[in-house]
């Protein structure tokens, strides 16, 4: 009998199945296009003995040892509902359906409630690490009940990445918690990538560095406090040469970024919970604006190209400031993402262990970094409810780096170099440390045109009105 079933042999599904087989589990596999099943098993080499090819859903379910876990690796949205409903007639009480795609957590909550009423556990898990991670060790964020985790936890822990021997897989709460945490992971990822791109833009357009020179800068940063997967691959991308043209690879890549929606979901859900996620929002907006390539070309001709040239007296000192600015921006982005997860956990009563989330992000996932070890330790020390910017060691980092962030953003703005995410990070920090904001005028305006009332500074209560 198979230990687990898997439906959907695309890139991620195939990689996960092979990962499970390599770790000693027998996997029953099915794909709607049956030729993919045959080709997959034929190409599996020595792992083929741990794969059970099936030709229909009934055979797939029958091949799995009960209580049966069946992983769905199909396109998010209606396809998940269709596949789950098609499977249901063959499942028994106590079996579980596991959606391992990038689902909207609200859909996962709906599915979990619906299938629970029918005796089936619906589990939503976030999987980060791309094709390479899925094959050799991703970070896994599981939702679902504790009984389901006891059944599938050993399998997921076995296939997950390891950080100092500890599996980067954990149950982070019931129903949609796993997919929400993955959504916020992708939101932070979008912000982190955008800020990397903005520092690249400052070096490329402001300092006129070559791709090789910029690769060396990112490589240096990866040996220091910014050490992370995204910094590492930024160096690799910038160092790569196009075999066809001989040019730096980055120079022949069209500057039009795509997205799969999870970054946008992160910004939307943070807004819905009244949690500022301005760095994530800026990153999402920048990707959207990047897609308007033709309009950007026309607008540059219409308004003129910005000067963009920077001429620091000491280039090495400027690059050190740029490194500090990126660190400050990352702190703001992570603070916003973790604040959103904490708010969601409270709203939905998930009891999401944020320290554990940071731990399982330390390897396997796209935002893995040394930075996350500090976050894990901070939550382990009991800082729940506090903004990450205000706890050690991040408060000390910000005291050291916020002036660098301010000067870099100022230099970029004056030169006409767009830095939307770094600017948003700076504004978030400045607002956070402003004891008296300008919202008093806003409250006065609201009362003037809508009689909304306000609180006063000199007496308790609310519902006061001005003499307009």
Q: What is the largest CA-CA distance in the chain?
A: 82
The answer as to whether 401 is a domain residue is yes
pLDDT tens digits for 19-28?
A: 999 999 999 9
Tell me what percent of the residues of the chain surpass a pLDDT of 90: 94
In a domain, 249, yes or no: yes
DSSP string computed for 276-311: --HHHHHHHHHHHHHT-HHHHHHHHHHH--------
Mean pLDDT over the full length of the chain: 96
pLDDT tens digits for 361-402? Answer: 999 999 999 889 999 989 887 777 889 999 999 999 999 999
Domain boundary among 175, 191, 215: 175
Angle (deg, nearest 10), helices 177-201 and 420-432: 110
Q: Give 411-429 pLDDT, tens digit per residue.
A: 999 999 999 999 999 999 9
Q: Is residue 360 in some structural domain?
A: no
**What is the model's pLDDT at position 379?**
87
Domain that holds residue 454: 443-468
Whether residue 365 lies inside any domain: the answer is no
Measured CA to CA, the distance from residue 289 to residue 282 in angstroms comes to 10
CATH number, domain containing residue 247: 1.10.1040.10
pLDDT above 90 (res 308): no
From the list 2, 68, 16, 5, the residue with the least C-alpha distance to 44 is 16
- For the ranges 249-253, 254-258, 315-319, the lowest mean pLDDT is seen at 254-258
Per-residue model confidence as pLDDT tens digits over 131-160: 999 999 999 999 999 999 999 999 999 999
pLDDT of residue 69 exceeding 80 = yes
Name the domain boundary from 143, 175, 207. 175
The pair of three-digit structure tokens given for residue 169, joined into one six-digit string: 């897989």
So what's the pLDDT on residue 385?
80
Radius of gyration of the chain (CA): 25
How many domains, in total, are found in the chain? Answer: 3
SS3 at position 226: coil
Tens-place pLDDT, residues 319-343: 999 999 999 999 999 999 999 999 9
Active site residues: 182, 189
């Amino acid at each position: 009998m198979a230990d687990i079933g898997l439906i959907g042999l695309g890139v991620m599904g195939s990689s996960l199945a092979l990962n499970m087989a390599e770790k000693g589990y027998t996997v029953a596999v099915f794909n709607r296009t049956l030729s993919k099943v045959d080709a997959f098993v034929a190409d599996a080499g020595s792992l083929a003995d741990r794969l059970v090819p099936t030709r229909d859903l009934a055979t797939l379910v029958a091949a799995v040892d009960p209580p049966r876990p069946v992983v769905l690796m199909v396109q998010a949205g209606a396809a998940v509902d269709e596949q789950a409903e098609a499977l249901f007639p063959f499942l028994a009480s106590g079996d579980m359906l596991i959606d391992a795609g990038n689902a909207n957590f609200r859909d996962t909550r709906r599915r979990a409630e619906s299938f629970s009423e029918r005796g089936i556990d619906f589990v939503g898990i976030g999987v980060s690490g791309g094709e390479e991670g899925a094959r050799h060790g991703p970070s896994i964020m599981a939702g679902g009940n504790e009984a389901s985790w006891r059944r599938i936890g050993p399998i997921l822990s076995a296939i997950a990445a390891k950080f100092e021997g500890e599996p980067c897989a954990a149950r982070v709460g019931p129903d949609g918690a796993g997919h929400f945490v993955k959504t916020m992971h992708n939101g932070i990822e979008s912000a982190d990538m955008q800020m990397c791109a903005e520092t690249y833009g400052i070096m490329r357009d402001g300092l006129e560095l070559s791709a090789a020179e910029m690769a060396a800068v990112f490589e240096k940063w990866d040996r220091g406090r910014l050490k992370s997967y995204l910094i590492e691959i930024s160096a690799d991308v910038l160092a790569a040469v196009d075999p066809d043209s001989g040019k730096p690879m980055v120079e022949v890549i069209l500057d039009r970024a795509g997205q799969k929606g999870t970054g946008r979901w992160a910004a939307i859900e943070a807004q819905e919970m009244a949690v500022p996620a301005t760095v994530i929002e800026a990153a999402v907006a920048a990707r959207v604006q990047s897609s308007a390539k033709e309009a950007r070309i026309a607008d540059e001709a219409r308004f003129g190209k910005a000067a963009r040239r920077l001429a620091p007296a000491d280039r090495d000192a400027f690059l050190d400031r740029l490194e500090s600015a990126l660190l400050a921006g990352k702190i703001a982005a992570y603070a916003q993402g973790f604040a959103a997860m904490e708010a969601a956990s409270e709203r939905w009563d998930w009891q999401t262990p944020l320290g554990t989330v940071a731990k399982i992000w330390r390897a396997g996932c796209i935002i893995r970094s040394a930075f996350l070890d500090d976050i894990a330790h901070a939550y382990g020390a009991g800082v729940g409810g506090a903004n990450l910017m205000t706890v050690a060691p991040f408060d000390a980092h910000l005291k050291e780096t916020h002036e660098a962030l301010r000067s870099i953003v100022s230099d970029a703005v004056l030169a006409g170099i767009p830095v939307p995410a770094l600017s948003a990070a700076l504004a978030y920090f400045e607002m956070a440390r402003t004891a008296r904001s300008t919202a008093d005028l806003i409250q006065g305006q609201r009362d003037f045109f809508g009689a909304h009332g306000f609180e006063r500074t000199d007496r308790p209560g609310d519902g006061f009105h001005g003499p307009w």
